[in-house]
Homo-oligomer: A and B are copies of this chain.
Amino acid sequence: MPQISRRGAQMPPSPIRKLAPLADAAKAEGTKVYHLNIGQPDLPTPRSALEAIRSIDRTTLEYSPSDGYRFYRENLTKYYRQFHIDLTPEEIIITAGGSEAVLYAFMACLNPNDEIIVPEPAYANYMAFAISAGAIIRTVPSTIESGFALPPIEAFEKLISDRTKGILICNPNNPTGYVYTPREMEQIRLLVKKYDLYLFSDEVYREFIYSDTPYISACHLPDVESNVVLIDSVSKRYSECGIRIGALITRNRKVHDTVMKFCQARLSPPLIGQIAANASLQEEDAYMQRNFDEYRSRRDYLIERLNRIPGVYSPMPQGAFYTLARLPLADADDFCTWCLSHFRYQGQTIFMAPASGFYVTPGLGRNEVRIAYVLNKDDLNNALTVLEKALEAYPRITGEYEHGTFHREADL
């Protein structure tokens, strides 16, 4: 039997999806499973998008252009203008979700063994796409105590070598919900400029910023126009994860043209998805406002309740729809697994994403979980009750939550 590739062996299983078989098994036996693990919005897709899909009048579902339909890219320029990002349609490439945009950005910009620096915790799939491109992710840890603010910029600079090719940020941040301040963005800009690095910036949650921190896009930064590659997606803002429509945006013509060669090889992004995404741009403002209000109110409720559970701590996320919470136990991977495989409260259990998968540095985030607030408040309420009960019942905690030290029975 021929061998699989080294890169295939290195690929991490998704920390968000790896426990899915346990969840499926729990559901199969009749347990109600609350999905706090995945950023799958429950809010409705814009009606305009659904109507556009339902009124498809084509007879043949054809390839679209490799960079996506021009009418959609033109409409996107108007969308970005609302955020003071001035683009031409030629600076936008439509991709199969933000995922494909990250992969092609890495493929076009990074050689095997090139390094990019990323604050951790970070969206786990960046690691997977870096491995796909043979590139190496170096991380600078942010801390829960600082609310996952940007680590000191000197810590980034210390990692820079000849092999460093770029910096990657996610803003607003998945998994932490942090929004980078103007001062932090200026620090990043200066570093990118000083070392002539790529700045990969994933900004798919720009619609969901609940604090007064203004949204500073990498595309707003002066003097680094040729360094910036923006990653975008309609998945989160319009609850359209399934249509697989994202975008890669760059004013760097060489990067654009190189990415386009990868795009031509895969022929075209999804046709019907583009029609739906384009229609969503026409949705009335009230739609976005309703979703925004709903997420903010869930966030307030979630964080307040989490922090009332003995030993649990969550900073207040300022954006996106996740929080990274610390639990009073040593091994969140074990706890999340146990919740799915063993724990039931009134026929219910919870599916959370262990935070370890969002860290690269071994040992970090072992007692943290990522919680997505993509459930309505009744379900969120029930899920939090299950979490409380699970923490009470979790058998292997023998120590008190003190000084961050825990003892599992197995360790004693």
Interface residues of A (CB under 8 A from B): 1-2, 4-9, 11-14, 16-18, 20, 38, 40-45, 49-50, 53-56, 58-66, 96-97, 99-100, 103, 107-112, 114, 125, 128-129, 132-134, 165-166, 196-198, 226-227, 239-244, 252, 254-255, 258-259, 261-262, 264-273, 276
With contact pairs A55-B54, A272-B53 given, residues A111 and B5 touching in the complex (Cβ less than 8 Å): yes
Report whether B265 and A129 are in contact in the complex, using a CB–CB cutoff of 8 Å: yes
Q: Is the CB of A166 within 8 A of B2?
A: yes
What separation, in Å, do the CA atoms of A266 and B14 have in the docked complex?
Answer: 10
Q: Is the CB of B109 within 8 A of A112?
A: no
Cβ A8 vs Cβ B258 within 8 A: yes
User: What residues of chain B lie closer than 8 Å to A258, measured between beta carbons?
Assistant: 4-5, 8-9, 11
Nearest Cβ on chain B to A237's Cβ, whole angstroms: 13
Copies in the complex: 2
CA distance A107 to B106 in the complex (A): 15
For residue A109, which residues in chain B have a CB less than 8 angstroms away from its CB?
A: 2, 4-5, 8
A42 to B58, CA, bound (A): 11
A248 to chain B, nearest CB (A): 13
B196 touches A1 (CB 8 A): yes
> Chain B residue with minimal CB distance to A65?
B20
Residue of A56, A100, A125, A244 contacting most chain B CB atoms (<10 Å)? A244
Closest-CB distance, A71 to chain B (whole angstroms):
14
Give every chain B residue within 8 A of A56 (Cβ-Cβ): 50, 53-54
Q: Check if B61 sits within 8 Å of A99, measured CB to CB.
A: no
Q: Quick check: A254 and B60 within 8 Å, CB to CB?
A: no
What is the bound-complex CA distance between A41 and B62, given in angstroms?
8
Contact A239 B60 (CB under 8 A): yes
Give the contacting residue for A66; candidates B17, B62, B133, B240; CB below 8 A: B17
**Set B255, B264, B265: member contacting A132, Cβ < 8 A:** B265
A108: nearest chain-B partner, CB-CB: B8
Alpha-carbon distance between A304 and B329 when the two chains are bound, in angstroms: 76
CB within 8 Å for A45 and B61 given contacts A165-B2, A266-B99: yes
16 pairs, CB–CB < 8 Å, chain A vs chain B:
A1-B252, A4-B108, A5-B108, A5-B109, A5-B111, A14-B66, A14-B261, A14-B264, A14-B265, A16-B264, A63-B241, A99-B267, A112-B134, A128-B264, A242-B271, A270-B273
Q: Bound state CA distance, A9 and B197, in angstroms?
A: 18
Q: How far is the CA of A261 from the CA of B269 in the complex (A)?
A: 21
Interface residue from B9, B59, B65, B265 paired with A11 (Cβ < 8 Å): B265
Question: Which residues from chain B contact A17 at a C-beta distance below 8 Å?
Answer: 66, 264
Query: Quick check: B261 and A12 within 8 Å, CB to CB?
Result: yes
Residue pair B60, A2 in contact (C-beta under 8 Å): no
* Interchain CB contact under 8 A, B38 and A60: no
| 12 further A-B pairs in the complex, CB-CB below 8 A; given A50-B56, A61-B243 | A1-B196, A2-B226, A5-B258, A8-B109, A40-B63, A50-B61, A63-B241, A64-B242, A96-B244, A100-B266, A128-B262, A242-B271
Q: Is the CB of A49 within 8 A of B61?
A: yes
Q: Given contacts A45-B59, A242-B61, is CB(A261)–CB(B40) below 8 Å?
A: no
Asked if B45 contacts A240 (CB within 8 A), the reply is no
